[in-house]
Amino acid sequence: MKEIYISVDVEAAGPVPPTYSLLSIGAVAVDTPDSTFYVEIQPINANFVPAAMQVVGRTLEQFQKTGKPPRDAMMAFREWTDAIAGEANPVFVGFNATFDWAFINFYFQEYLRENPFGIGGIDIKAFYMGLSGCAWEDTKSSKIPSKFKGKSRHTHNALDDAIEQAEMFQRMRERAAAKG
């Protein structure tokens, strides 16, 4: 079956669901970068880590006002994923994917009882480690060579960061294919 790689980034109120809320999801089809998705989500509780909210740059109260209810947000994400994938298998791609996937998986399971990405995905950091032979410590974004980075910058907006990740993953895939 054909696969479609979807770069996903999230912003959250803390490190783990459901103790902390998922606040936004950004996604982009890696091979068709004009195909994007973005949604903000109402918090499921009042818990937050101050440093996480500083990174996000907004308060839980603001997300409560502007975000969609979690079920509606996940339904919209599912509908977008299904439309983009068509008959292909959607594959989750993330930079430090274990963090982002944990939130996506929990919210899909909690609100829709199914995750269209299945039980895993591709971690760009691990992909880079395999490609370069570097140590895990050297997979930080700040240590990845500029030849793998695209024009997009890391802004802590989930869509911007999903686009940045897609560019990075695409360049790494091209490098891996060239190595043969």
Q: Which of 109, 156, 174, 176 is catalytic?
A: 156
Torsion of CA 67, 9, 27, 126, to 10 degrees: -160
- Report how far residue 72's alpha carbon sits from residue 161's, in angstroms, rounded to the nearest whole number: 22
Is-contact 15 103, C-beta < 8 A? Answer: no
Phi, psi of 173 (to 5 degrees): -60, -40
Q: Give the pair of three-digit tokens for residue 139.
A: 């997979």
Told to judge if 156 belongs to the known catalytic residues of this protein, a careful annotator would answer: yes
Residues with catalytic function = 156
